[in-house]
Amino acid sequence: MIENIPDNLKKIKICDLSAAANCNFKCKMCFFWRPQKNDGQTMSISDWKKLILQLEEFFGPDLLINISGPGEVLLLKGIEELLLAAGRKFRVSINSNGYVIDDTAAKIITDNIESISISLDGVSARTHDYIRGMPGSYSAAVLAIERLRKKSKTLIITVSTVILDYNLDEVIDLVNWIERSEVNGIIFQAVSLPNNIAYDPMWFKNEFKCLWPQDTEKVRTVMDKLIEYKSQGSKIVNPVKQLECFKEYFLNPQLHIKKLRCEVDNVLKIGSCGDIKICDFSQPIGNVKISPLKEILASELAQEERLKAYECKSPCHLLVNCFHDNGGE
């Protein structure tokens, strides 16, 4: 591990590698399945492996590596090699829609990673398949969970659920299902500005109004029930504070967002082309295919971008789902 690591980088505990670049789903709240604007060539498996060595040198083995989109990570050619390389050095987690987890993929996963989060947005195939734009996606996700659990009792399996208008009626039943299942936990996200669309701070009133929970009474009831479940020790992973945040956000999105601050200290994000950005909507501070990680993170541009993010007052809906290090309760 590199000595004299700058103070502001010592808090980084998670590194998100956006390794996947394609998706087989057509989700209603994510448009990574549309052709994406890439300013450069995507990272090869060999580029990611080189980066893993730099991450080990820079941060030591305590970093959690999360391998995710834009897209479905298990569709990435060479994913087995990447999981193997990352799993040798770090604890590794992945996010997946579960669709391609057959017995072979389940073995690769259970042999190399610590945790997997599988998307599940309802207790019925009708709701989940509709939200995910993919017939059969509900049964595939449930089957993937069964396969993984059969192969490993120790793999941490969570379900990741986006709360939006379409599934508000199924959220509580889903938690009840998780309680009875062999899944370790459920992580909720509140629907926010969809991925891979033009920035629109009023998205929830404009083109994507249909995603936004409209019935405020129902929002109150569901969120209060989730808070009660969490307080009683259910398998909900989100802290009570975050669930309260979701409730406030759904009831008053503009006012609520202004109270939060961007968590630039906790997470390092590397994009599919190797770009590092402090803020998702600003310029990259460098590219790991061109410059050493140490140089990029210690640069003046990186410091300027960090300061901008600290002071950012944008009504940015990405904030509501960032609760990386606030401690559970």
Q: Which is nearer to ligand SF4, 169 or 280 (CB)?
A: 280
d(C-alpha 329, C-alpha 310), whole Å: 25
Count of C-beta atoms within a 10 Å radius of residue 298: 14
By C-alpha distance, which of 126, 111, 117 is closest to 96?
117
By C-alpha distance, which of 104, 38, 32 is closest to 68?
32
The 3-class secondary structure across 270-321, one letter per residue, is ECCCCEECCCCCCCCCEECCCCCHHHHHCCHHHHHHHHHHHCCCCCCHHHHH
DSSP string computed for 9-36? GTT--EEEEE-----S---TTB-TTSPP
Residue 170 interacts with ligand SF4 (CB under 6 A): yes or no: no
Residue 160 interacts with ligand SF4 (CB under 6 A): yes or no: no
Tell the smallest beta-carbon distance from residue 320 to ligand SF4 (Å).
10
Angle at 61 (CA atoms; ends 18, 72), nearest 5 degrees: 20
Cβ atoms 160, 198 nearer than 8 A: no
Residue 129 interacts with ligand SF4 (CB under 6 A): yes or no: no
Residue 8 interacts with ligand SF4 (CB under 6 A): yes or no: no
Residue 27 interacts with ligand SF4 (CB under 6 A): yes or no: yes
DSSP string computed for 144-159? HHHHHHHH-SSSEEEE
Q: Which is nearer to ligand SF4, 21 or 123 (CB)?
A: 21
CA 193 and chain centroid, separation: 14
Which one of residues 23, 55, 76, 223 is an interface residue with ligand SF4 (CB under 6 A)? Answer: 23
Which one of residues 169, 248, 280, 294 is an interface residue with ligand SF4 (CB under 6 A)? Answer: 280
Residue 253 interacts with ligand SF4 (CB under 6 A): yes or no: no
Q: Which is nearer to ligand SF4, 54 or 189 (CB)?
A: 189
Q: Which is nearer to ligand SF4, 13 or 261 (CB)?
A: 261
Residue 30 interacts with ligand SF4 (CB under 6 A): yes or no: yes
Q: Which residue blocks in 170-210 are alpha helix, DSSP H?
A: 171-180
Which one of residues 63, 211, 279, 297 is an interface residue with ligand SF4 (CB under 6 A)? Answer: 279
Which one of residues 309, 320, 321, 323 is an interface residue with ligand SF4 (CB under 6 A)? Answer: 309
Residue 79 interacts with ligand SF4 (CB under 6 A): yes or no: no
Tell the smallest beta-carbon distance from residue 7 to ligand SF4 (Å).
20
Binding site for ligand SF4 (CB under 6 A): 23, 25, 27, 30, 32-33, 69, 71-72, 97, 262, 279-281, 309, 312, 314, 316, 318-319
